[in-house]
Amino acid sequence: MVKKENKWFTLSKILGRVQQIFDEQISAHSFWIKVEIAQLKKDRKGHIYLDLVEHNGAYIVAKSRATIWSQTVNHLYGKLGEEVSEVLKVGTEVLCFCELVYSPIYGMSINVLDVDFSFTLGEIERIKQETLKLLNERGLIDLNKQLAYPIVIQRIALVGSVDTAGFIDFVNQLEENDYGFVFEIDYFNCRVQGDNAHIQIIEKLSQIPKDIYDVIVIIRGGGSVLDLSEFNNYNLAEAIAKMHTAVFTGIGHEIDSTIADCVAHTRFKTPSAVAAFIVEKAYQFSVHIQESFDHILSSSKHILEVERLEMNNMAISFNTYTRQWVLEKRRKLLAAMNETVMYSKNRLHVETSTIEVAKQVLKYKPLRELQAEEVRLREKGSLLSFFMEQKLQTSRRELISKEEAIFLQSKSVIDREKKRLEHLESIPTYFNFDSLLKKGFAIIRFNGETIKEHTSLESGDEIEVEIYNKRYQITIDNIKEVEEWMKKSHTKKPQMN
């Protein structure tokens, strides 16, 4: 049986057939597609390379490479200007007019021929309305509007980009106002345009301390709807709504307001309008104070004039009444004085008699008291002398008893120490050579040196043995080390009393 060979094709032939079908069925056809930009890169020649995707929930269901050639890019910038970069960015959903192209080498890709910017603007508005609905459902639209701010705004936390014209206009209008009002402004510098600018704004808002500022002002210069897309972010709106201090927005833009404007306490069209409002509030308060001062001054003058007239009338009446009162009081005073003189004379006579009686009493009573007190002191002195004598005798007996006890105790200690000293004096005699030799110890020498733990002896060696009264010369005939010598104490250490 002859094996049938498999039919095969080259890759170029297969892909060439694919290109043929593609050119017949798809090529030269243009269409609109709605896609999301997943990646975007622009080269030096002005071409834009994209990765377009379609999502189904969290999953990507389609993906393709796309290109916007520089000629088309220039056309788009001619239609929309610099806002093209706000539409063509990662994460934006766009409506593109496209054509498909296929190459056996590079595969299939999409050429973007045009972009419907109105669709993108519509998507921005749709998302904005959904965000507003969510904020309203969560009670955040009017949350910051419930906060109060002072009649005169002086301490301001300013959030914005210090390099922008709107920022500079706001600061200059406050600092160079026509009335000489002084405002305290602390700057919280951050970007207010571009990707993720809302993150920086939220971070700066979180750094503003509570109970320090009268208001928080967020400002940005003019711009289109696309320029202001960062101010439609839900997280930024939530942060503004939950701020502890009233928030003013001065975002210069077109007629439509941003979500940040909707949740702020008060919205102004431009940064300068915010500054003008703050200066105007201070001016109105100043005018009110001046009017109140003028009214108080005028009222005070009128009251003083009325009071002056009343005081004059009262002075005239008071003078007349005073004269009558003084005459009446003088009459009564003379009568009282005469009565007092008579009463004083009678009283003086009575008191003189009383004093004479008291003199007699005082003359003899102290003497009797002194004699009685002298008797009491003698009795107390005798009793105290008796008790002191008893106490002295008792103390003397206790002192003699303690003296005897100390003497006996000292004698006992001295006797015990004498015995201990005699014992210590006898110890050295126990350890001199004669005493040790008398007890049976011997001194063994080899080659004139005392045998020690490292001395090695062999058969034929001569050793010298010295005892108490003799000395021997001994030649070793046979020697054997029986047991390793251990350092052990065979005598008890004398106890010290």
What single string gives the DSSP state of each residue in 359-402? Answer: HHHHHHHHHHHHHHHHHHHHHHHHHHHHHHHHHHHHHHHHHHHH
Please give the single-letter amino acid code of residue 148: A
CA–CA gap between residue 202 and residue 231 (Å, rounded) = 11
Asked whether residue 204 falls in the same domain as residue 137, the answer is yes
Which strands form 184-189's sheet, in the order they lie side by side? 184-189, 155-160, 215-220, 247-251, 266-268
What is the tally of structural domains in the chain? Answer: 3
Res 147 pLDDT > 70? yes
Span of 127-131, 235-239, 365-369 with lowest mean pLDDT: 365-369
Q: Per the domain annotation, does 422 fall within a domain?
A: no
Percent of the chain with pLDDT strictly greater than 70: 90
pTM: 0.47
The phi, psi pair for 179, rounded to 5°, reads -105, 0
Span of 54-58, 261-265, 290-294, 440-444 with lowest mean pLDDT: 54-58
- Among 229, 264, 286, give the residue marking a domain's end: 286
pLDDT in tens, 47-106: 999 998 988 877 888 888 999 998 988 888 887 777 677 678 777 788 888 888 888 888
pLDDT in tens, 384-396: 878 888 888 888 8
Res 293 pLDDT > 60? yes
Greater confidence, 496 or 271? 271
Asked whether residue 152 falls in the same domain as residue 215, the answer is yes
What's 154's domain CATH number? 3.40.50.2300
- pLDDT (0 to 100) of residue 431: 62
Q: Mean pLDDT across the stretch 248-261?
A: 78
Asked whether residue 111 falls in the same domain as residue 216, the answer is no
Res 496 pLDDT > 50? no
Percent of the chain with pLDDT strictly greater than 90: 19
Burial profile 449-476: b = 16 or more Cβ within 10 angstroms, e = fewer: eeeeeeeeeeeeeebbebeeeeeeeeee
- pLDDT (0 to 100) of residue 240: 94
Torsion of CA 423, 424, 429, 431, to 10 degrees: 120
**Confidence band for 489, pLDDT divided at 50, 70 and 90:** very low
Q: Mean pLDDT across the stretch 121-132?
A: 75
Q: Mean pLDDT in the chain? A: 83
DSSP H or E stretch at residue 201: helix 197-206
Asked whether residue 110 falls in the same domain as residue 253, the answer is no
Greater confidence, 194 or 472? 472
pLDDT in tens, 402-458: 888 888 888 888 888 888 887 777 666 666 667 777 777 888 888 888 888 788 888
Asked whether residue 27 falls in the same domain as residue 176, the answer is no
pLDDT in tens, 26-51: 766 788 888 888 888 989 988 999 99
Q: Mean pLDDT across the stretch 297-312?
A: 85
Mind spelling out the 3-state secondary structure of 231-256?
HHCHHHHHHHHCCCCCEEEEECCCCC
Res 155 pLDDT > 90? yes
Q: Per the domain annotation, does 172 fall within a domain?
A: yes
Q: Mean pLDDT across the stretch 106-129?
A: 78
Asked whether residue 148 falls in the same domain as residue 262, the answer is yes
User: Can you give the residue range of the structural domain that contains 24?
Assistant: 12-115
Q: Are 197 and 170 in contact (CB under 8 A)?
A: no
- pLDDT (0 to 100) of residue 7: 77
Name 329's Cβ contacts closer than 8 Å, sequence gap at least 6. none
**Confidence band for 369, pLDDT divided at 50, 70 and 90:** confident
What's 87's domain CATH number? 2.40.50.810
Res 367 pLDDT > 90? no
Asked whether residue 162 falls in the same domain as residue 186, the answer is yes
Name 125's Cβ contacts closer than 8 Å, sequence gap at least 6. none
- Among 71, 88, 115, give the residue marking a domain's end: 115
Res 308 pLDDT > 70? yes
